């Protein structure tokens, strides 16, 4: 019973061995991540089109719930750039930003996403995310990063600009360039330049000055806080708000409120597809980060339990004034590097953010939105990676086409169209590749018992025997392709009397493929050609034995390809 509960409540597993050393390391990590998360959470709420406090709220209860149900010991859950952008895109046509309807729709989106993730986890359907190929995900994130950065330029420059894709945003920015608010622009550009320098140059500078690696790293991570403090003091001291600089303003000084999402069938119907896409993208981003960090400490991540953890986190966000969340790359890496040993570090971070929400929110009244926009720009541009185009072009033209289409659609149409196309292209690409499996004619390597492709090696073949190796499992999408390939090869060579299918790479044969094998067997029999199988795997053989195929097979099933070739050669010589 204890083991069963630990499977669904990982906290029972790591909690038993929790000690003072783990507590100390988790507390240090929590302090560092909290400092980083305060400006980041505010910024991502701005990106999602929500009040800044929503970012803090979305970073408190979700972290605690993930600590209970999640399996990663370093993953930091909360608002992230791509999901925040997808949230804004999903809600844009449902309600106007700043209204109660918009906030309720955000809660409903988080709840719907949480329920979907929970369902996927409970029914162990995490494999669905595998249909979204990594190159396509990389292309989508790259395009999203560009859109996010472009969308924040209006806050950096102090102008009005609208749009949900790069073309709309770019056109709107150009139209309003004459309205640049120069004081805001000075703040925004300076903050952006400073944050870029902090990310790349501050730590090496501190190390050259003799500071220890740990202290230098902490100070470098606190760079965004320094930008927030400096620009807030400048706006307050110089009364720049009165001169047109847009500020955060009043932020409620309270813990996350208890909220309820809407249960309106009409609203939930509108949010169904965006919630699914956010769930899949969020899970893929989260699990990739979690597995990468876990591998460094030889820890295990359970993808299905991760779905449950993320689902619980999103439901918590919907009940505490937040919006959709997932595991963030940058904050998780910081959490890991800071020495976090258990998910308790996340719970301590939540406590720190709760204190900030209660005690520190009056201090950000004069925080300029340009600084938050600069924080977003610097964070998301690190996600932009056009090298995926070069790598995919060199390796696979089909993958390149899928990546390019995803990038172009995301930039030109919007994030929902881009990620929908990415999902569709990933599935279609898989189906296309598996529907046309590699079928190699093989021959015996002289002096060995090995059989290799006749086009790649010098091998021995028998003019009366055609041996084919199918490098794919057989199922409904490729069964006909195999039929046609065998028919074409046999029809083109009247000397062939035996066909041997080497089944080394065939892990499964579904019912459609079985019917195709029966058709191949019958068609070859009409041509006076026998069909043989070799190296059939145990589970595949078990299924074949439950059918009538083996009884009707004109040839035999051999344990090895070498045995099959020898037997057929002896039979041919005797005839």
pLDDT tens profile 368-392: 999 999 988 988 888 888 898 999 8
Q: What is the mean pLDDT of residues 186-195?
A: 94
Q: What is the spatial distance between Cα 357 and Cα 353, in angstroms, rounded to a whole number?
A: 6
Kindly give the pairing relationship between strand 465-470 and strand 451-453. Answer: unpaired
Burial 390-413 (b: 16+ CB within 10 A, else e): eebeeeeeebbebbebbbebbbeb
* Range list of β-strands (E), 244-386: 326-327
For residue range 300-347, list pLDDT tens digits in order. 788 889 999 999 999 999 999 999 999 988 788 878 877 788 888 988
pLDDT of residue 469: 96
Helices 329-337 and 344-355: crossing angle in degrees, nearest 10, is: 110
Q: What is the spatial distance between Cα 537 and Cα 530, in angstroms, rounded to a whole number?
A: 21
pTM: 0.81
- Range with lowest mean pLDDT among 206-215, 230-239, 362-371: 206-215
Element housing 231 (H / E):
helix 223-237
Look at the block and give the residue holding tokens 């972290």.
Answer: 63
Bridge partners (DSSP) of residue 469 are 440, 502
What does the block give as tokens for 484? 């046609």
| Rounded (5°) CA angle 68-74-78 | 70
What three-state secondary structure class fits 530? Answer: strand
Does the pLDDT at position 234 exceed 90? yes
CA dihedral angle for residue 224, residue 227, residue 233, residue 239, rounded to 10 degrees: -120
Domain 439-574 in this protein, CATH class? alpha beta
Residue 4's pLDDT band, with cuts at 50, 70 and 90, is low
Which ranges in the chain are annotated with CATH 3.30.750.24? Answer: 439-574
């Amino acid at each position: 019973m204890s083991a069963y509960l630990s499977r669904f409540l990982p906290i029972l597993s790591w909690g038993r061995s929790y000690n003072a050393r783990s507590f100390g390391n988790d507390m240090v990590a929590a302090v560092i991540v909290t400092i980083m998360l305060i400006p980041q959470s505010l910024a991502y709420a701005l990106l999602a089109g929500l009040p800044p406090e929503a970012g803090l709220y979305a970073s408190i209860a979700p972290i605690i719930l993930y600590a209970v149900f999640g399996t990663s010991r370093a993953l930091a859950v909360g608002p992230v750039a791509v999901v925040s952008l997808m949230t804004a895109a999903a809600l844009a046509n449902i309600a106007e930003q700043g209204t109660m309807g918009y906030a309720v729709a955000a809660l409903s989106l988080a709840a719907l996403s949480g329920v979907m993730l929970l369902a996927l986890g409970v029914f162990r359907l995490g494999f669905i995310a595998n249909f979204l190929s990594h190159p396509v995900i990389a292309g989508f994130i790259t395009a999203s990063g560009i859109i996010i950065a472009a969308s924040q330029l209006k806050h950096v420059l102090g102008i009005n600009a609208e749009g949900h894709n790069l073309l709309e945003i770019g056109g709107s920015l150009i139209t309003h360039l004459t309205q640049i608010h120069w004081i805001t622009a000075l703040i925004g550009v300076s903050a952006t330049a400073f944050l870029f320098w902090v990310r790349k140059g501050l730590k090496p500078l501190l190390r050259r000055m003799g500071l220890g690696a740990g202290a230098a790293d902490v100070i470098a991570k606190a760079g965004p806080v320094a930008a927030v403090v400096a620009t807030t003091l400048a706006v307050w001291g110089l009364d720049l708000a009165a001169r047109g600089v847009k500020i955060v303003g009043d932020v409620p000084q309270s813990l996350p409120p208890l909220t309820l999402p809407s249960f309106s069938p009409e609203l939930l119907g509108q949010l169904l597809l965006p919630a699914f896409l956010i769930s899949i993208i969020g899970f893929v981003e989260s699990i990739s980060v979690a597995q990468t960090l876990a591998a460094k400490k030889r820890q295990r991540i359970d993808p299905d339990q991760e779905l449950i953890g993320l689902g619980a986190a999103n439901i918590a966000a919907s009940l505490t004034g937040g919006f959709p969340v997932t595991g963030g790359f940058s904050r998780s890496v910081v959490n890991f590097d800071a020495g976090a040993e258990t998910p308790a570090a996340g719970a301590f971070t939540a406590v720190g953010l709760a204190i900030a929400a209660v005690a520190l929110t009056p201090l950000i009244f004069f925080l300029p939105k340009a600084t938050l926009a600069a924080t977003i720009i610097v964070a998301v541009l690190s996600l932009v990676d056009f090298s995926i185009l070069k790598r995919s072009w060199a390796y696979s033209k089909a993958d390149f086409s899928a990546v390019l289409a995803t990038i172009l659609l995301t930039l030109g149409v919007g994030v929902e169209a881009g990620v929908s196309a990415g999902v569709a292209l990933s599935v279609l690409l898989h189906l296309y590749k598996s529907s046309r499996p590699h079928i190699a004619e093989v021959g015996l390597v002289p002096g060995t018992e090995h059989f290799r492709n006749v086009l790649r090696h010098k091998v021995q073949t028998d003019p009366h025997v055609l041996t084919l190796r199918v490098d794919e499992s057989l199922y409904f999408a490729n069964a006909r392709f195999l039929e046609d390939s065998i028919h074409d090869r046999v029809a083109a060579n009247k000397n062939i009397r035996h066909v041997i299918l080497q089944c080394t790479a065939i892990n499964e044969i579904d019912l459609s493929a079985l019917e195709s094998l029966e058709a191949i067997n019958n068609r070859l029999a009409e041509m006076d050609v026998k069909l043989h199988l070799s190296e059939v795997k145990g589970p595949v053989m078990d299924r074949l034995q439950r059918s009538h195929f083996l009884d009707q097979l004109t040839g035999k099933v051999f344990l090895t390809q070498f045995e099959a070739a020898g037997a057929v050669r002896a039979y041919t010589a005797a005839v």
